[in-house]
A and B are shown apart, each in its own frame.
Chain A
Amino acid sequence: EVQLVESGGGLVQPGRSLKLSCLASGFTFSNYGMNWIRQAPGKGLEWVASISSSSSYIYYADTVKGRFTISRDNAKNTLYLQMTSLRSEDTALYYCARAVYYYSDYWGQGVMVTVSS
């Protein structure tokens, strides 16, 4: 069974940093690209970043480019999202998802990030 478990969220002040993790199981992690998608409270889905299976290809939404870094450790079956210079508009539920092409076929339960002073 495919499982994706996000962690690392919480309350953080504007301008500070936070690192999210997503532990994958139930599939060969190193064979799949991965996505981060977020959802602000009461709002729709926003694609954030994607990384290919070997980290050769990485893409970011313009809203996070230069502030967020997606990475992965295939030996640890873990996906990361390093978030810096956080803003109030980054407040959202962050989902990691397994990618098939750039679709997301399995999603985690999400981890909440709240940026507030």
Chain B
Amino acid sequence: DIQMTQSPASLSASLEEIVTITCQASQDIGNWLAWYQQKPGKSPQLLIYDATSLADGVPSRFSGSRSGTQYSLKISRLQVEDIGSYYCQQAHSNPFTFGSGTKLEIK
């Protein structure tokens, strides 16, 4: 099974700051990676798919990148509405594992 190691587990950042969350895949998954945002008390929402493609309606301050088997989600200018938890998921092969999540707070 493919393991997705996500870091950090929690993050506190200031408004307008750049925030980066990473996921390390245990083997090659190509671009088969998604990022999800889950606001407190809400269902998750797809942010990024295919490692770098922005989902419909997602603000352009969110972006995804890939370097080998390391994947990153960047929020270019943190806004108050960005607080919540973020998860990566690999869609390369069954089981389609999620990362352990990153809880993002405003400092």
Contact = CB atoms under 8 A, between A and B. Distances in A.
Partners in one complex: yes
Interface of A: 35, 37, 44-47, 50, 59-62, 95, 100-110
B91 interface: yes
A103 B34 contact: yes
Interface of B: 1, 32, 34, 36, 38, 43-46, 49, 55, 85, 87, 89, 91, 94-101
A45 B87 contact: yes
A49 to B, nearest CB: 10
Contacts of A110: 43
Contacts of B91: 101-103
Given A45-B36, A59-B95, A62-B95, A107 B89 contact: no
A107 B87 CA distance: 14
B100 A50 contact: no
B101 A104 contact: no
Nearest to B92: A102
Q: Which of A46, A50, A95, A107 has the most CB of B within 10 A?
A: A107
B46 A47 contact: no
Q: Which of B91, B96, B101 has the most CB of A within 10 A?
A: B96
Contacts of A45: 36, 38, 44, 87, 89, 98, 101
Given A59-B94, A100-B49, A105-B55, A47 B89 contact: yes
